[in-house]
Chain A
Amino acid sequence: MTTARIPLLHRYANPAAFGRLAAKVLPWTTALAILLLGLGSYFALFASPPDYQQGESVRIMYVHVPAAIMSEVVYGMMAAAAVAGIIWKHALADLFVKAAAPLGAAFTFVCLVAGSLWGKPMWGAWWVWDARLTSELILFFLYLGYLALVDAFDDPQRGLRAGAILVLVGVVDLPIIKFSVDWWNTLHQPASLMTLSGPKVDPSMLLPLMLMIGGFMAFFVSVVVLRLESELLARRIRAWRTATSEE
């Protein structure tokens, strides 16, 4: 094992060190999120052409696709943090899983709703039971299951650990979502962004899409850092309360 990596990992297990890092990072990511989402929305709504087949409804893509990407990326990050929490007992990693979960659930929900609104004019149905939609719906329920489990224990630490194990088991759904459009003959279109031959989207649409993806990402980082900080504060208040009540 490399000697440099683990100390770095553990440096930010210290809440104070994390607090200093967060104070430095947060203004930048917040500004970046506002900038990218603002610019992205402008390009997505006004400065990009309507699709030659889909017309104006293609603009739903600029919300649907970033939300879909984030729904999977957040779960992937949660799984990585769960591994760190279980192997190294990294305190902050456990908390990250909990802080990220409601955001991931929200992204998944937005993805499903936006997709449904897009499906009605394009496919003629709010919902079809194809593999991509079904596996994304399962991902939503995995998020909900995690959120219900993590709060169901009297000892918060035990809830975090049980949740981390659940997140790792649920990872089996991620490749199924990603490759569902290749493995099955789905109504949902196959990948056009992350293909071996590069993106197959026209530059005029790729730009707003990329801006929105970046904006969603910066938004996620900002909110997750805020949630982590408030979780650490809540923990300090709890410790302080039990300490004073014992006196």
Chain B
Amino acid sequence: MSAMLRLFAHDLKLQLRLGSDLIAPVAFFVLATLLVPLGVGPEPNLLTRLAPGMIWVTALLATLLALDRLFQRDFEDGTLDLLALAPLPLEAIVLAKVAAHWVTTGLPLLIAAPVLGLMLRLDHGSYVTLEVSLLLGTPVLSMVGAFGAAVTLGARRGGALLALLVLPLYVPILIFATSAIGAAGEGLSPRPHLLLLASFFVAGLVLVPFAAAAALRNALE
């Protein structure tokens, strides 16, 4: 456990030292979302309808940005080989890396989302649901993304390939997250949608490390 925490702290420190890595996803998130009112016009009712979907779609794309570097750097300089030899199982290494990825990409989105909600005139009743859906959903995005990064490790044209593999797997999260926010906006209970998101989170936590670790072993063979 302490080895996992140390790896997590080490990854986090590396990410923070490279400041631009931290800013790029959240800046993309804000900028891409703000293109919407410029594209469809500033009509308030329309923006209210579009807000949950637009925020989530750009959040999805923003998490893609930093994914290809998740294992790539460690793979190239040989750190990953050493980590694989360490007593810590590869599954735990995946989890530590996912956690570091989420703190540097998912968490900033959580902080920026309410501001974007204001600018897109999100329903007053939807803010809590927006935050809860992001809190439950973005870790799953990081997990599924880590699997995609692991399975494309060492592949040619990794970046575009990664998006092609990961985006279809993101669809259920997008659907249930936006239905939760939509339900809250209409005064219905977002609970069932959020519970499904929570189940994705738990299932991902159990299953993704194994799939990603298997992919990493294949890349390191």
By a beta-carbon cutoff of 8 Å, the part of chain A in contact with chain B is 86, 134, 138, 141-142, 144-145, 148-149, 152-154, 158-159, 161-162, 165-166, 168-170, 176
From B152, B156, B161, B171, contact of A154 by CB (8 A): B156
Q: Across the interface, do B168 and A153 meet the contact criterion of CB distance under 8 Å?
A: no
Query: Across the interface, do B218 and A138 meet the contact criterion of CB distance under 8 Å?
Result: no
CB pair A165 B218 closer than 8 Å: yes
Checking B158, B171, B218, B219 against A134 with a beta-carbon cut-off of 8 angstroms, the contacting residue is B171
Evaluate contact between B151 and A162: CB separation under 8 angstroms. yes
Query: Mask for B191-221, Cβ within 8 A of A = 1, else 0?
Result: 0000000000000000000010011001101
B128 is an interface residue with CB less than 8 A from chain A: no
Please tell me if the beta carbons of B219 and A158 are within 8 angstroms of each other in the complex. Answer: yes
Q: Report yes or no: B168 in contact with A145, Cβ–Cβ below 8 A.
A: yes
- Rounded to whole angstroms, the CA-CA distance of A207 and B169 in the bound complex is 37
- Give how many B residues have a beta carbon under 8 Å from the other chain's beta carbons: 22
Q: How far is the CA of A165 from the CA of B208 in the complex (A)?
A: 11
Number of A-B contacts (CB under 8 A): 57
Give the CA-CA distance A86 to B158 in the complex, in Å. 23
Which residue of B has the minimal Cβ distance to A129? B175
10 tightest A-B contacts by CB? A152-B155, A141-B168, A145-B165, A161-B218, A138-B168, A162-B151, A145-B164, A152-B156, A165-B215, A169-B211
CA distance A144 to B168 in the complex (A): 10
Give the A-binding residues of B (Cβ under 8 A). 147, 151-152, 154-158, 161, 164-165, 167-169, 171-172, 211, 214-215, 218-219, 221
Min CB distance, A174 to chain B, in Å?
A: 13
A148 contact set on B, CB distance < 8 A: 161, 164-165
Residue of A145, A148, A168 most packed against chain B (CB within 10 A)? A145
Residues on the A chain within 8 Å of B171, using CB:
134, 138
| Distance (whole angstroms) from the CB of A129 to the closest CB of chain B | 10
Contact partners of B221 in chain A: CB under 8 A: 158
- Contact check: which of A144, A161, A169 meets B147 at CB < 8 Å? A169
Q: Chain A residues with Cβ under 8 A from B214's Cβ?
A: 86, 165
Q: How far is the CB of B48 from chain A (nearest CB, A)?
A: 20
27 A/B residue pairs, CB under 8 Å, sorted by A: A86-B214, A138-B168, A141-B168, A144-B164, A145-B161, A145-B168, A148-B161, A148-B164, A149-B161, A149-B165, A152-B155, A152-B156, A152-B161, A153-B156, A154-B156, A159-B155, A162-B151, A162-B152, A162-B215, A162-B218, A162-B219, A165-B151, A165-B215, A165-B218, A168-B211, A169-B211, A170-B169
A155 to B43, CA, bound (A): 54
B152 touches A149 (CB 8 A): yes
Chain A residue numbers with a CB within 8 Å of B155 are 149, 152-153, 159, 162
Chain A residues near B147 (CB-CB < 8 A): 169
Query: For residue B151, which residue of chain A has the nearest CB?
Result: A162
Q: Which residue of A lies closest to B212 (CB)?
A: A165
Question: CA A70 – CA B7 in complex, angstroms?
Answer: 45
Q: Would B156 and A149 count as touching, CB distance under 8 A?
A: no
Interchain nearest-CB distance for B68 vs A (Å): 13
CB of A44, distance to nearest CB on chain B (Å): 32
